[in-house]
Amino acid sequence: MAEFRMPSLGSDMEAGTLVEWLVKPGDWVKRGDIVAVIETQKGAIEIETFQPGQIEKILVNPHTKVPVGTPLALIKGEREAMPGAAVPPPAVPAVPVAVAPLARAPIEPPAAPSAAPHVRISPAARQLAEAHGIDLAAVTGSGPGGAITHADVERRLATAPEKKRAPSLDLNAMRTAIAAAMMRSKREIPHYYLEHQVDVTPCEQWLAQKNATLPPDSRLLIGALVIKAVALAARRFPAFNGFYREGQFEPAQAVHVGVAITIRGGGLAAPALHDTDQLSLDDLMNRMRDLVQRTRAGRIRSSELSDPTITVSSLGERGVETMYAIIYPPQVAIVGVGKTVTRPWVIDGAIGPRSVITLTLSGDHRVTDGHAGGLFLADIAKLLQEPAKL
Amino acid sequence: MSETDIRKVLREELNNIAPEVDIATVDPSADLREVIDIDSMDFLNFITALHHRLGIDIPEIDYPKLVTLDGAVTYIGAKLGASKT
């Protein structure tokens, strides 16, 4: 029997509020399934399970705030759950510590299929749909077994043009979370900063040619190329990809590039694109679009927030040329990307106009030195000279 | 589609990206990316939405023609007119 606990989604998180269960006792879950939604300072987060098996018992009611680490549910492992397997001794029921219970209603029984027998929907999603008069037949379910989740109804609401969805993000709380992480970074991490101007004309030419034949939803942005180049370079320079914890550096096995995403009104989050180095550019772009959209709608997944191994922060096509970014602890490096500008450049002894971006690296001096940082940054620049190989 | 209809479509699609902005108050000759603070991903989503909604092809090379409201109205009007003939 395994306990499914309130996860820690960053060193600044102490507690979270369980908003909604997407499973009920008896449901089977696979590793990576989204089983619950919690509310944190970073907005609503979809929580995945890493324990496959059968949901044995729900321990915490929706709308209850509990500290990080509190058991939320019990999951019976696949073997235990198999008929004929030895009956395990009953687990000692873990008592959830309700910090600020907003509702004390008993756990609702699984929604009985009554009026609409073919629609599987969570109670919270049903409530939301009813509040907005959403026709459930028009909503595609993405939960276990095609069940309609809170997120599905929200997405439906977002596409209904005349309805303005209340922002589910608390930007003040998000600012507090950013402040806590950045104060810790500036207090603990001895940053060093490097800067490198990179000719990205080859990227622009390659993109112009590729995008010319594609519909808008398949077009790539230069940001996707930079992220892929950083991921490939991080694979070759593992000292920039990982975590500094308890006095030592732990290199990460995978490369999950965190993408800094601004949120209108003053929010910022940097969720991960998983296995960035393994993604084709098209896949990376699709994932990035999805990630940006979900982040701005306040729907990030727990693993995306908790496991970026290095971050890329890009100022986009406007603003200024150079940014010196602050490392997001416990990561040890962040790459800043300025806007693209046209500059005189020497190519083969002649001066000509080229498109140039300024890349910066902020590195953790406890783990690496400027010399290694320079090689890492130069490798990113080199990768950007041959975009077709990214 | 009349110019009024095109402006309505533009207003709706821009509000999907920037719900807090009153598009009626936006200078029609100003760069939308600056005045309503949209990034390259937002702009690509805007183009994608226009492509799907109006059924017009907007190649990347034409993006500069759509960065102001007036420019976008003229561009879309011409595209829709051309596709009818």
Same structural domain for residues A83 and A128?
no
- At residue A383, the pLDDT reads 98
Same structural domain for residues A101 and A199?
no
Same structural domain for residues A2 and A84?
yes
* CATH, residue A14: 2.40.50.100
Q: Which residues in chain A are closer than 8 Å to B44, comparing Cβ atoms? A: 216, 219, 221
Number of domain units in chain A: 3
Q: What is the pLDDT of residues A222-274, one digit of tens each?
A: 999 999 999 999 999 999 999 999 999 999 999 999 999 999 888 899 999 99
Same structural domain for residues A150 and A135?
yes
Same structural domain for residues A76 and A65?
yes
If you measure CA to CA, which chain B residue comes closest to A288?
Answer: B41
Q: Which residues in chain B are closer than 8 Å to A226, comparing Cβ atoms? A: none
Does residue A173 form part of some domain?
no
Q: Which of A11, A60, A12, A15 is nearest to A35 (CA)?
A: A60
How confident is residue A372, by pLDDT bands cut at 50, 70 and 90? very high
Domain locations in chain B as residue ranges: 3-84
CA distances from B51 to A70, A216, B44 (A): 48, 7, 10
Same structural domain for residues A369 and A297?
yes
Q: Which residues in chain B are closer than 8 Å to A164, comparing Cβ atoms? A: 19
- At residue B43, the pLDDT reads 94
Looking at residues A309-313, what average pLDDT do you find?
98
Q: What share of chain B is helix, strand, coil (3-state, %, to 5)?
A: 70, 0, 30
Share the mean pLDDT of chain A.
Answer: 84
Same structural domain for residues A379 and A260?
yes
If you measure CA to CA, which chain B residue comes closest to A164?
Answer: B19
B9, B38, B40, B56: which to substitute to probe chain A, counting the most A Cβ within 10 Å? B40
Q: Are A314 and A260 in contact (CB under 8 A)?
A: yes
Does residue A176 form part of some domain?
no
- At residue A9, the pLDDT reads 80
Instruction: Return the number of other C-beta atoms located less than 10 Å from residue A382's C-beta.
Output: 12
- At residue A11, the pLDDT reads 65
Give the A:B interface size as CB pairs under 8 Å: 46
Same structural domain for residues A121 and A210?
no
Same structural domain for residues A328 and A258?
yes
Cα–Cα dist A224/A284, whole Å:
7
Cα–Cα dist A249/A184, whole Å:
17
The string over B50-74, giving b where at least 16 C-beta atoms fall within 10 Å of a residue's C-beta and e elsewhere, is beeebeeebebeeeeebebbebbbe
How confident is residue B83, by pLDDT bands cut at 50, 70 and 90? low
Range of weakest confidence among A87-91, A151-155, A320-324: A87-91
Q: Are B40 and A199 in contact (CB under 8 A)?
A: no
CATH placement of domain B3-84: 1.10.1200.10
Whether residues A217 and B48 touch (CB distance < 8 A) is answered with yes
- At residue A265, the pLDDT reads 86
Same structural domain for residues A338 and A300?
yes
State the pTM of this model: 0.74
How confident is residue A126, by pLDDT bands cut at 50, 70 and 90? confident
Q: What is the pLDDT of residues B59-68, one digit of tens each?
A: 999 999 999 9
Same structural domain for residues A230 and A370?
yes
Whether residues B16 and A262 touch (CB distance < 8 A) is answered with no
Share the mean pLDDT of chain B.
Answer: 92
A204, A227, A317: which to substitute to probe chain B, counting the most B Cβ within 10 Å? A317
Q: What is the pLDDT of residues A200-212, one digit of tens each?
A: 999 999 999 999 9
- At residue B85, the pLDDT reads 47
Q: Which residue range(s) make up the domain with A125?
A: 111-166
Q: Is the pLDDT of residue A319 over 50?
A: yes
CA distances from A291 to A69, A160, A205 (A): 26, 21, 26
* CATH, residue A138: 4.10.320.10
Range of weakest confidence among A12-21, A118-127, A137-146: A118-127
Same structural domain for residues A217 and A330?
yes
A162, A168, A169, A217: which to substitute to probe chain B, counting the most B Cβ within 10 Å? A217
- At residue A45, the pLDDT reads 84
CA distance B3 to chain A (A): 20
Q: Residue type for A344, please?
A: P
B45 touches A at CB < 8 Å: yes
Looking at residues A159-171, what average pLDDT do you find?
54
Q: How many helices (H) and strands (E) does chain B have?
A: 4, 0
